[in-house]
Amino acid sequence: MNIYEHLKNGGYDTALTTLYGAEALESARIRWLSATEEFFRLFGESKDIRLCSASGRTELSGNHTDHNHGRVLAAGVQLDTIAVVAPRKDSTVRVHSEGYAPLTLDITDLAARDDETGTSAALIRGTAARLNELGGTLGGFDAYITSEVPEGSGLSSSAAYEVLIGTILNALFNQNRFTPVELALAAQYAENVYFGKPCGVLDQMTSAVGGAVAMDFADPAHPVIRRIDIDFGQYDRVLCVVNTGGNHADLTDDYAAVTAEMKAISREMGVGFLRETTYDAVLARSAALRQTCGDRALLRAFHFFAEDRRADDMAKALENGDIAGYERMMRASGNSSFRFLQNLYSNKAVDCQGLSLGICVGEQVLGESGAVRVHGGGFAGTVQALLPKTSLPAFRKAMETVFGVGCCHVLRIRPVGGICLDDINE
């Protein structure tokens, strides 16, 4: 029986239920069958096919804290990027991603290329290069990739793609020797060095590890990760994100400025990162810091200190079942991002304020019975909401009135991150 027939006959139902929930089993099976058919069409049948998945992620708290060695609360979600993949006998990598031009590269050629900056090829080559540096084995493969992680949604389609590539290389050639943390750090390396985008490791770590996790990046190479067992449904709550539109392509400078301005404060304080100093110490020198770094940099530093503490407090609230306290702090997180971090819109395009608009409309619908905040990097993309199940129809209707049908995505926290289906199908 080939893998298509095995899928069709329910052979992977345990894995699919783990990833997507029993209510979505049939649609998930159809999706994977379609992806397998496309692989057969593109590359032919193979006896060595593997089915791999990497989750999108949602940031629950810790907005722009990870790159200063702070704490973050995040979760992997059921919206994922998947691959039907088979090893080759040579060093050629052939990838067909739905909606994109196919790419081919030699996996043994690991030098970064200027002409690949900002491309998927850079992510593949960079991830492979880092795993090679760690003593990993590389090989060629054919892959068909498709994704349900909307681009620009704040659910980190890029991190899911990077982690998926690492998961493929780990499964096909390394007997899964690399840990989720190592795969996440390799993915971050690829995005920083090869793709050319400065970023922390929050997105990649959440996608690789999966589940709801409290992460402390005091030592980014060895983050402290604490899993949290949370089902918002048990509190009659729904977690969702709303895609407000906007293009991230022209916002790299805005993202980079957040890191650069926080870095300017830490440099003036004589430390490498804000985590290594304190609010009180920065406040004591604030008059001088205003002159050397500017007011916005100081505000962003103050946001960091409050958000770093809040991420830990929100994790504890979930562990203690304090959903009201969690929602209160979620609103405070959003307010801090809006007022102090100032990452809801770009000063280069003040007429484009979809995030601000989404929060405004969401708060009008929910009042105090829920919370709405910026989600992820900001400046464009998505807002996150936690709301009573009974409020979902009114909330969705309001958001679709403003941002269009299909903009509201209900999220399910999935228990695993980057994975091959065979590894969870026992």
pLDDT tens readout for residues 268-280 = 999 999 999 999 9
pLDDT at res. 29:
97
pLDDT at res. 252:
80
Angle between helices 202-209 and 180-189 (to 10 degrees): 150
- Residue showing tokens 């102090």: 340
pLDDT at res. 380:
87
pLDDT at res. 199:
73
pLDDT bin (cut points 50, 70, 90) of residue 244 is very high
- Residue showing tokens 């980057």: 418
Closest CA to 80 of 161, 201, 182, 190: 161
Which residues have C-beta within 8 Å of that of residue 141, sequence separation ≥ 6? 85, 86, 87, 88, 93, 94, 168, 172
Higher pLDDT residue, 73 or 245?
A: 73
Q: How far is CA 100 from CA 118, 143, 144, 146, in A?
A: 14, 13, 11, 10
pLDDT tens readout for residues 29-85 = 999 999 999 999 999 987 799 999 999 989 999 999 988 999 999 999 999 999 999
pLDDT at res. 328:
96
pLDDT at 201 over 80: no
Q: How far is CA 373 from CA 43, 52, 259, 262, 412, in A?
A: 44, 32, 20, 21, 18
pLDDT tens readout for residues 152-178 = 555 668 889 999 999 999 999 999 999
pLDDT at res. 203:
86
Buried b (16+ CB within 10 A) or exposed e, 5-22: eebbeebbbebbbbbbee
pLDDT at 263 over 60: yes
pLDDT at 426 over 70: no
pLDDT at 425 over 80: no
pLDDT tens readout for residues 300-343 = 999 999 999 999 999 999 999 999 999 999 999 999 999 999 99
pLDDT at res. 248:
56
The average pLDDT across 106-111 equals 95
Question: In the chain, what percentage of residues exceed pLDDT 90?
Answer: 81
CA 109 to chain centre: 28
Q: pTM, whole model, 2 decimals?
A: 0.85
pLDDT at res. 153:
57
The average pLDDT across 385-404 equals 97
Which residues have C-beta within 8 Å of that of residue 267, sequence separation ≥ 6? none
Dist CA 66 CA 310 (whole Å)? 13
Buried b (16+ CB within 10 A) or exposed e, 180-211: bbbbbbbbbbbbeebbbbebbbbbbbbbbbbb
Which residues have C-beta within 8 Å of that of residue 85, sequence separation ≥ 6? 39, 49, 50, 51, 52, 141, 142, 143, 144, 168, 172
pLDDT at 245 over 90: no
Dist CA 320 CA 333 (whole Å)? 19
The average pLDDT across 379-404 equals 95
The average pLDDT across 273-289 equals 98
Dist CA 122 CA 144 (whole Å)? 17
pLDDT at res. 47:
79
pLDDT at res. 126:
96
pLDDT tens readout for residues 179-190 = 999 999 999 999
